[in-house]
């Protein structure tokens, strides 16, 4: 199930803004760029909870039968075993975080087609 996540902390002044997404709980962090019209995902993870923060752009997330739209500034999580795919409605930059990392100690990847 998808859940909306609130950043740990945010601060803004005349210089700009700082948003602290997390301060613990994730072992792998990626920055993803995707072009408008691209589809990514179509898989699930058994050993990872994921969180995504959208820096810029807009996407449609499909998890199971649900379709949700997210845009710049949104922060959301996906639990293990939830099959998910992304359709990028605009050129998008997002941060993805994995609780354990997809490259497992046994050399396999925690990515399963769904």
Q: What is the pLDDT of residues 85-109, one digit of tens each?
A: 999 999 999 999 999 999 988 999 9
Residues 6+ apart with CB under 8 A from 100: 27, 28, 47, 48, 110
Task: Summarize the confidence of residues 25-31 as an average pLDDT.
Answer: 94
pLDDT score of 114 more than 90: no
Q: What is the CATH number of the domain that holds 29?
A: 2.60.120.10
Q: What is the extent of the structural domain holding 80? A: 2-113
At 32, the pLDDT band (50, 70, 90 cuts) reads very high
**What rounded mean pLDDT belongs to the chain?**
95
Task: Summarize the confidence of residues 50-77 as an average pLDDT.
Answer: 97
At 1, the pLDDT band (50, 70, 90 cuts) reads confident
**Domain count within the chain:** 1
């Amino acid at each position: 199930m998808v859940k909306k996540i609130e950043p740990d902390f945010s601060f803004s002044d005349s210089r700009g803004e700082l948003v602290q997404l997390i301060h613990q709980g994730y072992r792998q962090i990626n920055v993803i760029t995707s072009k408008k019209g691209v589809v990514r995902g179509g898989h699930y993870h058994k050993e990872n909870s994921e969180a995504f923060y959208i820096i810029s752009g807009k996407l449609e997330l499909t998890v199971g039968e649900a379709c949700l739209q997210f845009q710049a500034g949104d922060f959301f999580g996906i639990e293990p075993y939830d099959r998910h795919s992304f359709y990028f409605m605009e050129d998008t930059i997002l941060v993805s975080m994995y609780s354990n990392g997809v490259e497992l100690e046994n050399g396999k990847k925690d990515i399963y087609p769904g």
